[in-house]
Chain A
Amino acid sequence: MLAPGFADPVHDAQGTFRAVMDALARPGRVRPLVADLAPPAPLTPELAAVALTLTDADTPVWLDPALAAAPEVAAYLRFHTGAPLTEDPAEAAFALVREPARCPPLARFAPGTPAYPDTATTLVLALDALTEGEGLHLSGPGIRGTARIAPAPLPDGFVAQLSENRAGFPLGVDLILTAPRHVAGLPRSTTVTEA
């Protein structure tokens, strides 16, 4: 049987959106994300909550190989959001990544165009852990001075990819980082360096 979506579609979506908005507006801060969902594995409740909040028929969604291998995940997302699924990361408005360590290079996703940088892909990563105050150094809009965040696990060379992503500003992808019951943001405007 198909797993249900939000118990309260209006207010659960609003709560998820505000957590995500806050996360992207203040990179480096880890926000609580209460996602009362039980989506089919390997989709996490947090990935599902972001997808149900932000995607619909207007937003092509790319699933990473781990999610694409489970037909129940596609069925769940199709039923609850109506979003078309795409196999081309460069076409995706949103990309759901269950195994961040094996995430394709960020450059393979849509960076937007100079006239319309808002057409870039938003990646939603399901991490095991997000820790504030250690790990990567962040600076840029939304950050008072500098901030630190330790997302895990990350793909090899991720910081180099992020600085390449930042170098292309205003083009570039934006990242929503989720971990169990938490969310953080890494917009393209953030400068990320290793310790």
Chain B
Amino acid sequence: MSAAIAQRPESEPGYNFAYLDEGTKRMIRRAILKAIAVPGYQVPFASREMPMPYGWGTGGVQVTAAILGRSDVLKVIDQGADDTTNAVSIRRFFAKTSGVATTTRTAEATVIQTRHRIPETPLTEGQTLVYQVPIPEPLRFLEPRETETRQLHALAEYGAMHVKLYEDISRHGHIATTYAYPVEVAGRYVMDPSPTPKFDNPKMDDCPALQLFGAGRERRIYAVPPYTRVRSLDFEDHPFRVQAFTQPCALCGARGHYLDEVVTDDSGGRMFICSDTDICETRVAEAAR
């Protein structure tokens, strides 16, 4: 294994492996299996209090804890970055409570927990991507009542979502939704891909990796199995399009990656750099060789 993988020989004593008790893991594991069997359907689960506040990835953490094994290699990203607070603290949490190896390299990871990005490096069959989801219900801002949205999903009644996208067009001339862009999974359920930029939506379609979604506060787990059709909702005359960037990454020169705008001074200076820190660092290191 490469130097990027940090191996801790022993986990912290006093905790069960990966923090959660076995009864909780069983309950989450059953929810994950049903989520896989009904792609895009939100399975309710008995979300636990975690040693971090809701909104910091408690759903993703519980899913990761339920699937993680000793031989896994864990990567955690927050908006594409391995080195931001949320990613660092969740990675340390699992290193401490499970002793699993951690990495920042996408290709070396078997489980990748993510907050709002899909890595640029194409995922493979041996990998599972775990999303942290704040609001799992794509119809929530159109219909606040859970009893109603549950019926709408049961009846596959997604007209309101198309009206919302249409209103975007009538107001802005194009579909102005740029993140949490609704998708239809395997031709049936409309699903919130979590607040990933719509740039990442095409990566979910026919992906070789298993994709699991955990919403801790909202107590829902859902899944997209590998090689599953994930279609971004659109119209014939307004087809789905992703953001395009005019300039390459200022650090690694990559085109076709999702870029973050970084303000560099107080006189309007700014640069655009890859949001995926792993691929950016890898490319910079390769160019320096």
Q: Which of A107-155 contact B (CB under 8 A)?
A: 114-118, 120, 122, 140-144
User: CA A130 – CA B12 in complex, angstroms?
Assistant: 41
- Asked whether A53 and B226 contact (CB < 8 A) given A10-B17, A115-B151, the answer is no
Q: Which of A30-69 contact B (CB under 8 A)?
A: 53-56, 58-59
B222 to A: closest C-beta gap in Å: 10
- Asked whether A141 and B186 contact (CB < 8 A) given A21-B36, A114-B155, A118-B34, the answer is yes
Q: Do A144 and B227 have beta carbons less than 8 Å apart?
A: yes
- Asked whether A174 and B37 contact (CB < 8 A) given A9-B22, A26-B226, A53-B29, the answer is yes
| Size category, A interface | 35 or more
Residue B31 is within 8 A (CB to CB) of chain A in the complex? yes
Residue A90 is within 8 A (CB to CB) of chain B in the complex? no
Q: Do A115 and B34 have beta carbons less than 8 Å apart?
A: no
Residue B5 is within 8 A (CB to CB) of chain A in the complex? no
Q: Do A174 and B34 have beta carbons less than 8 Å apart?
A: yes
List B contacts of A89 (CB < 8 A): none
Q: Do B186 and A10 have beta carbons less than 8 Å apart?
A: no
Q: Do A11 and B69 have beta carbons less than 8 Å apart?
A: yes
Q: Do A170 and B41 have beta carbons less than 8 Å apart?
A: yes
Residue A178 is within 8 A (CB to CB) of chain B in the complex? no
List A contacts of B44 (CB < 8 A): 116, 118
Residue A24 is within 8 A (CB to CB) of chain B in the complex? yes
Partner of A21, one of B27, B29, B70, B150: B29
Residue A100 is within 8 A (CB to CB) of chain B in the complex? no
List B contacts of A114 (CB < 8 A): 154-155
- Asked whether A142 and B225 contact (CB < 8 A) given A24-B37, A174-B34, A189-B39, the answer is yes
User: CA A59 – CA B210 in complex, angstroms?
Assistant: 26
- Asked whether A189 and B30 contact (CB < 8 A) given A11-B17, A143-B227, the answer is no
List B contacts of A84 (CB < 8 A): none
Chain B contact residue count (CB 8 A cutoff): 44
Question: CB-defined interface of B57-100 with A at 8 Å, one 1/0 digit per residue?
Answer: 00000000011111000000000000000000000000000000
Q: Do A174 and B67 have beta carbons less than 8 Å apart?
A: no
Question: CB-defined interface of B153-167 with A at 8 Å, one 1/0 digit per residue?
Answer: 111000000000000
List A contacts of B39 (CB < 8 A): 141, 189
Residue A102 is within 8 A (CB to CB) of chain B in the complex? no
Q: Do A14 and B68 have beta carbons less than 8 Å apart?
A: yes
Q: Which of B203-254 contact A (CB under 8 A)?
A: 208, 210, 223-229
Residue A159 is within 8 A (CB to CB) of chain B in the complex? no
User: CA A54 – CA B66 in complex, angstroms?
Assistant: 12
Partner of A17, one of B29, B70, B223: B29
Closest to A140 in B: B186
Q: Do B188 and A170 have beta carbons less than 8 Å apart?
A: yes
Q: Which of B14-59 contact A (CB under 8 A)?
A: 16-17, 22-23, 25-27, 29-39, 41, 43-44
Question: CB-defined interface of A160-176 with B at 8 Å, one 1/0 digit per residue?
Answer: 00000000011000100
Q: Do A58 and B27 have beta carbons less than 8 Å apart?
A: yes
List A contacts of B43 (CB < 8 A): 118
Closest to B209 in A: A25
A145 to B: closest C-beta gap in Å: 8
User: CA A111 – CA B218 in complex, angstroms?
Assistant: 25
Q: Do A21 and B32 have beta carbons less than 8 Å apart?
A: yes
List B contacts of A9 (CB < 8 A): 22
List A contacts of B33 (CB < 8 A): 20-21, 24, 54, 122, 174
Q: Which 6 A-B pairs have the closest CB atoms?
A: A187-B37, A114-B154, A142-B225, A118-B34, A141-B228, A141-B225
23 contacts between A and B (CB under 8 A): A11-B69, A13-B25, A13-B26, A14-B17, A17-B67, A20-B33, A21-B29, A21-B33, A24-B33, A25-B225, A26-B225, A115-B150, A115-B154, A117-B34, A117-B38, A140-B186, A141-B39, A142-B36, A169-B38, A170-B189, A174-B33, A187-B37, A189-B225
Taking Cβ atoms with an 8 Å cutoff, the residues of A that contact B are: 9-11, 13-15, 17-18, 20-22, 24-26, 53-56, 58-59, 93, 114-118, 120, 122, 140-144, 169-170, 174, 187-189
